[in-house]
Amino acid sequence: MDISSRGRRGRRSRRTRDLPLRTCGILLVTAGLLISGCSSGSSPADASPAALARSAPAELAPYYGQKLSWRDCGAPGFQCASMKVPLDYAKPAAGDIQLAVSRKQATKKKGRLGSLLVNPGGPGGSAVGYLQSYAALGYPAEVRARYDMVAVDPRGVARSEPVTCLDGKQMDAYTQTDVTPDDPRETDDLRTSFQTFASGCKERSPKVLPHVSTVETARDMDVLRAVLGDDKLSYVGASYGTFLGATYAELYPERVGRLVLDGAMDPSLPARRMNRDQTAGFETAFRSFAKDCVARGADCPLGAESPEDAGKRLKAFFGGLDRQPLPIGASGGRKLGEALATTGVIAAMYDEAGWPQLRDALTSAMKNKDGAGLLALSDGYYERDGDGKYANLMFANAAVNCLDLPPAFADPSEVEKGVAAFEKASPVFGEGLAWSSLNCAYWPVRATGKPHRIEAKGAAPILVAGTTRDPATPYRWAQALASQLSSGRLLTYEGDGHTAYGRGSECVDSTINAYLLKGTVPEDGKRCS
């Protein structure tokens, strides 16, 4: 989850996006005190789709009772299908939408535990893309042996009735808009940018735009659970995917199987507090990067003697780009301004494996006046390809976030009053992230959600993982969610980067594997490094 560009409160785990940079994974082994979990697996022997359909509300029975027609996906071992769900659960007769589903069946039939649904976060991340590019190939062999690995692109995302808002050239202009306005004209330009984006979404996606909330997606997940023949849901969700999983548990506590919520969000926070907390998270991540950079002496482009000095130098560099952007050679006339440079730096904060690339990009930009490296980081973050086309990620991200919570700020005057608190949270990124939080103020659909505690009383034990220096989902959020959930168990990873599973900690990975494979939950508060 992340707000680094245009107020996005959610963002998928970086590892789902940067597979060439590092494996994005999930592995495991042993660990201290374990207690037996009361959750059973989601064995298909427990229920049939027909029986599950009969237990659904009458108006939803056709959806719960549907049979998926699996077909080849063009990749060895994968199957794909389309699943029908109501556009509006309050009015199921008003029409359907089709969601893209994919699976890779368990490698062993004996001891099969059912389906394991995965979601990489966002909101807006393609779960099907994550499954096919990593999860069904890179999760631990023992997990893949006993679970069918399954993903569904959430409504409004990627292959599932995708929200669209702007074309490539319009997005280029949008992503370059100055988010640290210095005068009324620049403030008007930023407001107009947000309004143009919102209007584009309304014009291009009028049907689906009011129906992409997390609650609706969680209800879709329950339809999929039943269609797959599982009496309970087993699930691994990262970043925003933790909010989706917690929402499912809130709606269907009795259907919770084994839920792993990694890089957790705190559902009780209003948008402004959430954005400010995340701003502080990026500052924490930057200080870790800066400390490492400074220790490298002459190899550090920030040329500082302390992380604080490094932050001041980076902020001054951003200010220079605000006044005079850097031209980029073969980029079709694009320039590296403050907004794109800031996004490029933040993109590298998700995983310490990206720090060398960031050092190189900053060296090129700050010393050689070549902004191509930072632009490439920013383009990767926005999922912009070489032809200037953008994936649906940014559109879906805003659409879901602006439905799930009322806006962080109502108008520019509120931002002006709130900037100081954001700058206190992050001297480097605070001003830009405060102004970026204005985006939902102009959204064409009123928010249907509100901040609230999620307790999910009656649910089986739910494993919540938090990383102490996570930039996008601050550790305190994992602590909060685990304490809210009546059956929450907190697993702490003392380290850097976004999310914990598959980051290289044998302690973390073995604990999560034991939970998924045996239903064994760790002692609450267990810490790993």
Catalytic residues: 239, 470, 498
Using alpha carbons, select from 387, 284, 271, 273 the residue that is nearest to residue 8.
271
DSSP 1-32: ---TTTT------GGGT-TTTS---------S
Q: How far apart are CA 140 and CA 135, in angstroms?
A: 9
CB 467 within 8 A of CB 499: yes
Q: How far apart are CA 152 and CA 288, in angstroms?
A: 35
DSSP 156-175: TBTTBS------HHHHHHHH
Instruction: End-to-end CA distance of the chain: give it in Å, rounded.
Output: 22
Q: How far apart are CA 291 and CA 311, in angstroms?
A: 10
Q: How far apart are CA 245 and CA 474, in angstroms?
A: 18
Phi-psi region of 383 (alpha: psi -120 to 50; beta: other; left: phi over 0): left
User: What separation in angstroms does the CA of 188 have from each of 62, 131, 409?
Assistant: 49, 42, 15
Backbone angles phi, psi at 462, to 5 degrees: -115, 130
Q: Which residues contact 108 (CB under 8 A, 6 or more apart)?
A: 145, 146
Torsion 159-164-167-170 (CA) sign: negative
* Structure tokens belonging to residue 400: 């879901």
CA contacts within 13 A on the Cβ side of 102: 26
Q: How far apart are CA 429 and CA 439, in angstroms?
A: 17
Backbone angles phi, psi at 260, to 5 degrees: -110, 120
CB 488 within 8 A of CB 117: no
Compute the 3-state secondary structure of the chain and give helix, strand, coil in percent, each to the nearest 5.
45, 15, 40
Q: Which residues contact 316 (CB under 8 A, 6 or more apart)?
A: none
Q: How far apart are CA 119 and CA 135, in angstroms?
A: 9
Q: Which residues contact 337 (CB under 8 A, 6 or more apart)?
A: 176, 178, 321, 322, 325
Q: How far apart are CA 401 and CA 395, in angstroms?
A: 10
Q: How far apart are CA 140 and CA 118, in angstroms?
A: 14
